[in-house]
């Protein structure tokens, strides 16, 4: 995960939404980013296992590659989770 991109996205997002978000929502935004990355990784992997029936692919292991990328991103997010949380304070 690129921390500069994450910080910039977070800043822009909060400028538009902070006034309408509940404290609990703000407290879970960093976790939500990790959760969504995990979910899409599972969806790519499941589609790969089921024969690539949902997502269009360009080569035989495209969805497997996509899943691996998502899980690698999730690893990076885990390593930088404190930073991610700090961006929402």
Question: 24-76 pLDDT, tens per residue?
Answer: 999 999 999 999 999 999 999 999 999 999 999 999 999 999 999 999 999 99
Q: Model pTM? A: 0.88
Range of the domain at 37: 3-86
Measured at the alpha carbon of residue 81, what is the angle toward residues 35 and 49, in degrees to the nearest 5? 35
Give the count of domains, the chain. Answer: 1
Structural tokens at position 49: 């296992």
């Amino acid at each position: 995960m690129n921390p500069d991109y994450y910080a910039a996205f977070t800043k822009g997002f909060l400028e538009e939404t902070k006034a309408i978000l509940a404290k609990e929502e703000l407290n879970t935004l960093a976790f939500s980013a990790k959760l969504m990355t995990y979910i899409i990784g599972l969806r790519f992997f499941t589609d790969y296992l089921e024969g690539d029936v949902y997502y269009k692919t360009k080569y035989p292991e495209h969805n497997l590659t996509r899943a691996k990328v998502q899980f690698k991103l999730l690893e990076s997010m885990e390593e930088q989770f404190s930073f991610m949380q700090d961006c929402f304070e």
